[in-house]
Amino acid sequence: MRQKTQSHDDNRLRTALSNMRYGGCTSSDLAFLNSRVVGKTSNKPNLASSKFRNVSVITAWNAQKDRINELGSARFAKDTGQALTHFYSVDNIAPVTDSMKKSKRGAEKRQAFPAIQELDLDTKKALWNATPASSEHFPGKLSLCIGMPVMIRNNDATELCITKGQEGTVYGWTSSSGPDGQIILDTVFVKLIDPPKTVNIKGLPENVVPLSRSIDKVFCGLPNDTTIYITREQVQ
């Protein structure tokens, strides 16, 4: 956790989490954790409170995270009177080697790898509309609007506080047209929330950092349960 101050309750939570790791929670730890369970009574946290409106959420499954992000994006845009802008990845088929088709023990993997040379537009649309959980968490579509809360996914530049888990809001972006006529992100500008230090980049406001499009190879699942291997260009 990136904390600059620590309250009494913060310390109690840290202690409870530390004890939980070793299965050694005390009665005091359990009482504190139970006090943080949401409920309708006056002494329980209320999820309808404005302070919980745009907070980060830890989920058990990636599919749950994807759905929460989808609903949360639409809700934030509606709350702020904006329309979401959808940005799509640039996808191309990547070659699959024989070693990729086998497990560590040498047995054939269950995934089917279709013998296709290029992606048609229908397949690309299926990939864009699939959840990030089906493409190794490298999304085919990003839906953004100004001010939307986001979280940086990779340690791209620690000296600029562009680190995994750093929270921020969308400040702006630059975009262009992709090979299939889709809108693609070139750079998204993120205003960091409470970074460990003040960041100043020439030409940008304080604590605003750029995240550029990157390219990577990922396995993607299709609706017919087949798996394909592609190169994907997108801002992460």
**Three-class DSSP category at 77:** helix
pLDDT per position in the chain (236 positions), as tens? 455 678 888 899 999 999 999 999 999 999 999 988 888 888 888 888 888 888 888 888 888 888 999 999 999 999 999 999 999 999 999 887 766 655 555 555 545 555 667 889 999 999 999 988 889 888 999 999 999 999 998 888 989 999 998 999 999 999 999 999 999 999 999 999 999 999 999 999 999 999 999 999 999 988 888 889 999 999 98
Sort strands 227-235 and 90-93 into parallel, antiparallel or unpaired.
Answer: antiparallel
In sequence order, the 6+-apart residues with CB closer than 8 A to the CB of 13 are 32, 36
Q: How far apart are the C-alpha atoms of 130 and 222, rounded to whole Å?
A: 8
Q: How far apart are the C-alpha atoms of 80 and 170, rounded to whole Å?
A: 13
Q: Quick one: which of 51, 54, 56, 47 has its CA closest to 2? A: 56
Q: How many residues does the chain have?
A: 236
At residue 165, φ and ψ (nearest 5 deg) are 95, -10
Q: How far apart are the C-alpha atoms of 173 and 114, rounded to whole Å?
A: 36
75 token code pair: 């809700």
Are 94 and 220 in contact by the 8 Å Cβ rule? The answer is no
Stated pTM of the model = 0.80
Amino acid 54: pLDDT:
84
